[in-house]
Amino acid sequence: MKGAIVQCLGDLVKSNFGNDKWEQSLETAGMSKTAFFMPLQNVDDEKVIHIIESLCKVAKISQTQAADAFGDYWVNVYAPKLYSSYFKGANTSKELLLKMDSVHDNVTKNIQNAHPPRFDYEWKDSRTMIMRYKSNRGLIDILMGLVKGVGKYYKEDLKVTKLSNDKLQVIFPN
Ligand code: HEM
């Protein structure tokens, strides 16, 4: 996975829990506490998962809490700084979420070894969308945290439900 994900995670843990908790998480995951991550570098998926599991132990939070905190931080703090252009032209959560399939395709097009998640969208009615998650990483809880983060970014009250390991239901306010 791209180093951007780990860099964002590190920023979040350092600002919410302190530098030492991040260092402990890296050490618990068997890495150097001074490990440094660049956005475009590749980090083994296993290592990323290991860091997330370690930080749950160190910060005493559940995987779901970690997924929600990550989704919130990525969408509301990290991506607006690093990837602001992708938010342009999307004025509602619905518009941003509908762009996410092509954003992930485009952002990783020229990057070797990237395996971006892809999405497709199905409508049950005008407010109820089924977002299908296509990735073999199995990170639907992180997807759910990200979708909630998008609702917060646009100050919209989204109802997000996990239907299965590859499907989320999102009900928009209008
Ligand atoms: C707005 C700017 C965004 C950018 C530039 C972006 C970019 C990226 C990049 C570069 C990766 C790593 C891919 C890889 O290493 O193969 C990633 C992973 C991921 N992104 Fe985004 N992302 C954005 C927003 C979102 C949003 C809003 C969602 C969900 C609604 C989302 C869902 C995911 C998920 C679930 C992953 C984990 C990888 C996987 O499950 O396979 N992203 N994203």
Q: How far apart are CA 33 and CA 67, in angstroms?
A: 22
Contacts of 63 (CB under 8 A, 6+ apart): 52, 53, 56, 141
- 42 with 2: CB under 8 angstroms? yes
Closest C-alpha residue for ligand 1 atom 41: 117
- Ligand 1 centroid–CA 116 distance in Å is 7
Question: Average pLDDT over the chain, rounded to whole?
Answer: 96
- Ligand 1 atom at minimum distance from 131 CA: 30
Instruction: Print the SS3 string covering 36-105.
Output: CCCCCCECCHHHHHHHHHHHHHHHCCCHHHHHHHHHHHHHHHHHHHHCHHHHCCCCCHHHHHHHHHHHHH
Pocket test residue of 95, 104, 134, 156 for ligand 1, highest count of atoms within 8 A of CB: 104
**Measured from the CB, is residue 118 less than 6 Å from ligand 1?**
no
| Domain 92-171 listed as CATH 3.30.420.10 | no
Task: Report if pTM > 0.85.
Answer: yes
Question: Which pLDDT belongs to residue 118?
Answer: 97
Q: Tens digit of pLDDT for each residue in 17-73?
A: 999 999 999 999 999 999 999 998 999 999 999 999 999 999 999 999 999 999 999
SS3 136: coil
**Measured from the CB, is residue 94 less than 6 Å from ligand 1?**
no
- 147 with 160: CB under 8 angstroms? yes
